[in-house]
């Protein structure tokens, strides 16, 4: 049974979608079967890992995660093979309306979980890219997930709201998903030349000593450029610091999972 990891942070611009794309590719490169679910109405995970033709086709055919969540399609009908070991459940513009439509639906918080349940056995990892908010779509991701991976930008404001997010995770665990755990915090956009990056890193590790990944994702020009080519940084700049950072993160997640510990305690 594949492990479902929601990648979440209510603050935008922290590298959430970048982490979803590059971690998915890095895990697939290790020979694991991976499914990436784009649950963000902006659809950046979809466009960032697809060719423009595939992206347009998914929207034109109406085979998006919206149609599965709201329209009744089985999730297997919308999946696209985007790499040899990596499948994508794409997002389209129609997902914008899902926040409103899901409110009146029965079992609205569990719809994604119900969709994923039949296909989990086909994957080693299911990664869910969530919107930068704590609305019904993110709630669906948290209820569907076994654990939550939180990307944190190495800037001062990134610390604000972290306790709120962790509080939300605990509330979801208590009320809707007892098995939900914290996969861990991953520091992103780290600039080794910037004293503030080191200060934020030290502070986060001091406050959450056992919940921060050893792997750190540095700032990288290649990483900023890669989505415009429909590629991960591992493909666009395979020897870049960003690519190495995501390979290390994937290796850390795999090593813990194979040791029987799927999360940071």
In the chain, where the domains are located: 3-258
Integer CA distances (angstroms), 231 to 55, 222, 247, 258, in order: 13, 10, 15, 28
Task: Tell me what the mean pLDDT of segment 125-150 comes to.
Answer: 95
> Average pLDDT, whole number, for the chain?
90
Whether domain 3-258 has CATH 1.10.357.10: no
Residue 260 pLDDT exceeds 70 = no
Task: Tell me what the mean pLDDT of segment 8-20 comes to.
Answer: 90
Task: Tell me what the mean pLDDT of segment 60-89 comes to.
Answer: 93
Residue 34, phi then psi, degrees to nearest 5: -125, 140
C-alpha span between 213 and 206 (Å, rounded):
13
Residues 141-194: pLDDT tens digits?
A: 999 999 999 999 877 777 777 878 888 899 999 999 999 999 999 999 888 787
Q: What is the pLDDT of residue 136?
A: 93
- Cβ contact 192:205 at 8 Å: no
Residue 137 pLDDT exceeds 60 = yes
C-alpha span between 120 and 115 (Å, rounded):
9
Task: Tell me what the mean pLDDT of segment 11-26 comes to.
Answer: 93
Q: What is the pLDDT of residue 257?
A: 78
201 versus 172: the higher-pLDDT residue is: 172
Region label for 189, one of left (φ > 0), alpha (ψ between -120 and 50) or beta (otherwise): left
Picking from 32, 83, 88, the residue whose alpha carbon sits closest to that of residue 254 is 32
Which stretch of DSSP H or E encloses residue 88? strand 86-89
Which stretch of DSSP H or E encloses residue 10? none
Q: pLDDT confidence of 264, banded at 50, 70, 90?
A: very low
Q: What is the pLDDT of residue 214?
A: 93
Which tokens in the block code for residue 13?
């611009």
Residue 263 pLDDT exceeds 60 = no
Q: What is the pLDDT of residue 173?
A: 95
Residues 19-58: pLDDT tens digits?
A: 999 999 999 999 999 999 999 999 999 999 988 787 787 7
pTM here is 0.94
Q: What is the pLDDT of residue 154?
A: 77
């Amino acid at each position: 049974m594949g492990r479902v990891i929601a990648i979440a942070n209510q603050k935008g611009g922290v590298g959430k979608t970048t982490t979803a794309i590059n971690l998915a590719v890095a895990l697939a490169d290790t020979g694991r079967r991976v499914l990436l679910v784009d649950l963000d109405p902006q659809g950046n995970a979809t466009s960032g890992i697809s060719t423009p033709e595939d992206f347009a086709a998914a929207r034109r055919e109406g085979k998006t995660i919206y149609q599965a969540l709201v329209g009744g399609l089985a999730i297997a009908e919308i999946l696209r093979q985007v790499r040899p070991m990596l499948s994508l459940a794409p997002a389209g513009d129609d997902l914008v309306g899902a926040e409103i439509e899901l409110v009146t639906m029965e079992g609205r918080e569990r719809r994604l979980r119900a969709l994923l349940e039949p296909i989990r056995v086909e994957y080693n990892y299911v990664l869910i890219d969530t919107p930068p908010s704590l609305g019904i779509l993110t709630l669906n991701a948290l209820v569907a997930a076994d654990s939550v991976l939180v990307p944190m930008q190495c800037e001062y404001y990134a610390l604000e709201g972290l306790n709120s997010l962790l509080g939300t995770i605990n509330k979801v665990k208590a009320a809707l998903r007892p098995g939900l755990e914290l996969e861990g915090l991953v520091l992103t956009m780290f600039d080794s030349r910037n004293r503030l990056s080191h200060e934020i890193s030290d502070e986060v590790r001091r406050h959450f000593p056992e919940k921060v990944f050893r792997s750190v994702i540095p700032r990288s020009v290649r990483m900023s450029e890669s989505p415009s080519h429909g590629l991960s940084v591992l493909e666009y700049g395979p020897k870049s610091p960003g690519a190495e950072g995501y390979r290390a993160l994937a290796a850390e997640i795999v090593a813990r999972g194979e040791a029987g510990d799927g999360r940071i305690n």
